[in-house]
Amino acid sequence: MTTLISRLADAYFTLRTLDLQLEITTRTLDSRQESLRLTEVRERGGATSLLDVRQAEQLVYGAKAEIVNLERAIDEQENLIRVLVGDWPSGVTRGRPLTDQPRPGEVPAGLPSALLERRPDILQAEQQLAAANAQIGVAKAAYFPQITLTGSGGVESAALSSLFAGPSVIWSAALGAVQPVFTGGRLRSQVELAEARYQEALLTYERTIQYAFREVSDALVGYRKARELRAEEELLVSSARDARRLADVRYEGGATSYLEVLDADSRLFIAELALAQAQLGELADLVDIYRALGGGWQP
């Protein structure tokens, strides 16, 4: 169940990130179309060249192409979610946009390592270890088979009489009595095999625990770094937006060519998409912590 929840969370956060990137690209397309219109007006008035118009057109076409790619990715992601939940015929419910969601907080301090005992891989290794340990006792118990005798030489009973009623019965009783003697070597081998399997299961259990702790450590480090990356990307977007505004002012004032506007616009678009990806990375790393802890940090 933990794995399914984690996969579904990853798929949903990816879908919402694609939604955000589509929103960014659509907004960028609107801005670029307006910029193209103004550039065409300036070109007709002789204030700029046809080259500037063609460069503005390239920005518009690039945004339109990106929208097509994003719409395809969104459809594929919705199909993935439908598979994970067992169909969703009415479409995937979106909820609030990622930009309106509260930012994930820090992971609580002092989480007990006992949380890892809920992990499916640790539970499986623990069960295998217990089963291997039980097999040792089963093999050793075979050294002392439970032989039920219905009577002894000093007790007269119908059961005792029937026990030694004929040669075949005597042979059967004698064979049952000496069987452990002849199978002692085989039983000893069974014990040794059971002990070897137990040691193998114990090693697997130890490695599974070590792997679980490493996964938790990697997830915590990844989440911390993802939060740092998101903060830096937010600063980058803020700076890129200001640079785009200044480039427009300089171009409209005749202080620079449209190439500067083109560069500033491209940098802003890339920065906004990167911020959306950083937000997804932060959420994905939080899901990794949930998965590594075997279902979050709630007891």
- Decide if 284 contacts 13 (C-beta within 8 A): yes
Residue 240 or residue 296, greater confidence = 240
pLDDT band at 37 (very low <50, low <70, confident <90, very high): very high
Report pLDDT digits (tens) over 65-115: 999 999 999 999 999 998 888 876 667 878 777 777 777 878 887 778 888
Say how far apart CA 10 and CA 184 lie, in whole Å.
57
Give the list of residues 6+ apart from residue 138 with CB closer than 8 angstroms, or none.
194
Residue 206 or residue 178, greater confidence = 206
Highest mean pLDDT (candidates 129-143, 163-177, 279-293): 279-293
For residue 2, pLDDT over 90 is answered with no
Residue 164 φ/ψ, nearest 5 degrees: -110, 40
Residues of the chain above pLDDT 70, percent: 81
**Per the structure block, which two tokens stand in for 140?**
């050793």
pLDDT band at 139 (very low <50, low <70, confident <90, very high): low
For residue 244, pLDDT over 80 is answered with yes
Residue 296 or residue 207, greater confidence = 207
Say how far apart CA 63 and CA 16 lie, in whole Å.
19
Report pLDDT digits (tens) over 188-214: 777 788 888 888 888 888 888 888 888
Question: Nearest-CA neighbor of 35 among 11, 19, 52, 15?
Answer: 52
- Where do runs of H (alpha helix) occur along the chain? 2-44, 50-85, 120-141, 158-163, 167-252, 258-292
- The pLDDT value recorded for residue 159 is 41
The residue written with tokens 């007790």 in the block is: 155
Residue 286 or residue 156, greater confidence = 286
pLDDT band at 22 (very low <50, low <70, confident <90, very high): very high
Report pLDDT digits (tens) over 245-257: 999 999 888 888 8
Q: How far is CA 47 from CA 38, 258, 298, in A?
A: 11, 11, 65
- The pLDDT value recorded for residue 141 is 53
For residue 136, pLDDT over 90 is answered with no
Give the Cα-Cα-Cα angle 220, 223, 228 (nearest 5 degrees).
130
- The pLDDT value recorded for residue 63 is 96
- The pLDDT value recorded for residue 17 is 95
